[in-house]
């Protein structure tokens, strides 16, 4: 296994109709991290871009399929680069955390998140890092599944650029300084 290379996966759905939705916050952070890089298509069915963080090689990844099926392409990418789950960081939306709040952890349940469920199944366990980007729960009777597939509100959009930048900084801190420091700095 390659103990220096990292894979950072931004969960989301393909296509322009989903690009600016809450469910795609993970891919928004990946796009921010890749600002000076170019994405290419990998045989794993992921779009990837290479960057370095603190001297370590990092593969930024976005599955070309739907979030609920992201486990197979991510596992194929990890197998190709010989990266085990201890060097996998997944950025995803989190309903049970208020908007604009970040929580970082390793392992744990999927909390009903089908993207995490798919990853955990394909990696035979949940022992990968998560950068959980809070999107909050819908007010009133709106179905959470519909809520995450809607764009951010006009008030949320005012804070979105900073939120995405902080998500990127959290990923960089996790790679450079480890879980404990990243949690101290970002788990607000």
Which tens digit of pLDDT belongs to each residue from 41-88? Answer: 999 999 999 999 999 999 999 999 999 999 999 999 999 999 999 999
Active-site pick, 23, 87, 92, 113: 23
Residue 2: per-residue pLDDT:
63
Note the pLDDT tens digit of each residue in 12-45.
999 999 999 999 999 999 999 999 999 999 999 9
Architecture of domain 6-186: 3-Layer(aba) Sandwich (3.40)
User: Is residue 1 pLDDT above 70, yes or no?
Assistant: no
Q: Give counts: helices (H), strands (E), the chain.
A: 6, 7
Q: What is the mean pLDDT of residues 154-167?
A: 97
What pLDDT shows up at residue 37?
96
pLDDT of residue 111: 85
Q: Catalytic annotation on 113?
A: no
Contact yes or no for 167/136 (Cβ under 8 A): no
The one-character DSSP state at 151 is B
- Give yes or no for a contact between 170 and 182, defined as CB atoms under 8 angstroms apart: yes
Rounded CA separation 152/155 (Å): 8
* Pair 106, 128: CB distance under 8 Å: yes
């Amino acid at each position: 296994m390659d103990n220096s290379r990292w894979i950072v996966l931004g969960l989301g759905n393909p296509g322009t109709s989903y690009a600016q939705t809450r469910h795609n916050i993970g891919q928004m952070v990946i796009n921010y991290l890749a600002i000076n890089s170019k994405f290419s298509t990998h045989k794993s069915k992921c779009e990837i871009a290479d960057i370095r963080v603190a001297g370590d090689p990092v593969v930024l990844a976005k599955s070309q399929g739907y979030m609920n099926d992201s486990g197979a392409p991510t596992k194929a990418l990890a197998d190709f680069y010989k990266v085990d789950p201890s060097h996998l960081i997944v950025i995803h939306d989190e309903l049970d955390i208020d908007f604009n709040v970040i929580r970082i952890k390793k392992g744990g349940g999927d909390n009903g998140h089908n993207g995490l469920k798919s990853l955990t199944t394909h990696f035979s366990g949940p022992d990968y890092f998560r950068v959980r980007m809070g999107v909050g729960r819908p007010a009133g009777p709106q179905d959470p599944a519909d809520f995450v597939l809607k764009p951010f509100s006009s008030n949320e959009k005012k804070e979105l650029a900073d939120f995405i930048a902080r998500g990127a900084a959290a990923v960089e801190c996790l790679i450079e300084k480890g879980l404990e420091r990243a949690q101290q700095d970002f788990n607000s």
